[in-house]
Amino acid sequence: MKIQTFSIVAGTRACNAHCRFCVSKMTGFQEIEGGGRHINERNFYKAVALAERAGTTTVLLTGKGEPTLYPEEITRYLELLGQRPFPLVELQTNALTMGWLGRDSHSHAALTAEHLRAWYDLGLDTIAISVVDVERSANAKVYHDDYPDLGQTIGFLKSFGFSIRLCVMMQRGMVDSAKRLGDVVHFCQTHRVEQLAVRPIRRPEESLSAEAAAYVEQHGLSDAEVDRLHRWVQERGTQLLTLMHGARVYDVVGQNVCISDCLTVEPTSDAIRTLIFYSDGRIAYDWQYDGAVLLGGRESAGDRTAPGRE
């Protein structure tokens, strides 16, 4: 068995954005027992052992909500990872709290510059920023009215030493054409963004949120539109890698561009796209299906307390 990514879910369902296509709502938005307070370290080390033996190279700190609302929990996970042999450690975020911190020089939530310095020192390498566009107006419409300048946010994070991956959720009326994708590539080159990942918004086969699924049905790109954008990348780029589950990485005029899909299942393969750990100790291998579970979890009084938000 091979595992591409070891995903660690930090925090709870709390989020400071209001994305109408929220994947977490569609794949299960239940409260995470112990999230932001306790980490089931017993099962965490079992998940680490599984990932190690499966040759996992990347750890992704992510959330069913926004993980940076729980900075102390992120710190604790990085401490628990310690010197484990995972070469790459990444954090998926909407970067709102980071952008506000960089813009206003003071924290709008629990996150501080000291956290960012500590995370880098503890081995965090890449900040993966979820966006729908590089234009402020588009991101403000989807994420938050007070959306900070994306270029400034990227510069702020790079000042700590972090690499940046821009993760663009393509949808109609935003990044939906070759011209708009070209604008995004140019933005990434201008702001020295190391990696660009583009994927269409999708709904799972069985959505738990009718509202989010309806938004995706209305604003999602058709297969033909997605194919046209993929061809644009293929025609202008040189393919570098083929990742698990069909994701492909290209060099497009010097810019790293990955084209992929956000919800894929490969039932005929023994390769797992992501091994998922929840703070209560659950270990799973798919976001969509409750049956994709390896270990159940429970909050233990003996677990270390992470002094995050209560």
The string of pLDDT tens digits covering residues 74-101 is 999 999 998 777 999 999 999 999 999 9
Length of the chain: 310
CA distance 158 to 164: 7
pLDDT computed for residue 108 by the predictor: 72
> What integer best gives the mean pLDDT of the chain?
85
Confidence of residue 215 (pLDDT cuts 50, 70, 90): confident
Confidence of residue 34 (pLDDT cuts 50, 70, 90): very low
CA distance 68 to 52: 26
pTM beyond 0.75: the answer is yes
Selection from 66, 52, 82 nearest residue 275 by Cα: 52
pLDDT computed for residue 289 by the predictor: 78
Cα dihedral 202, 208, 77, 273, rounded to 10, equals -50
At the second CATH level, the architecture of 2-15+23-295 is Alpha-Beta Barrel (3.20)
Alpha carbon 50 to chain centroid, angstroms = 21
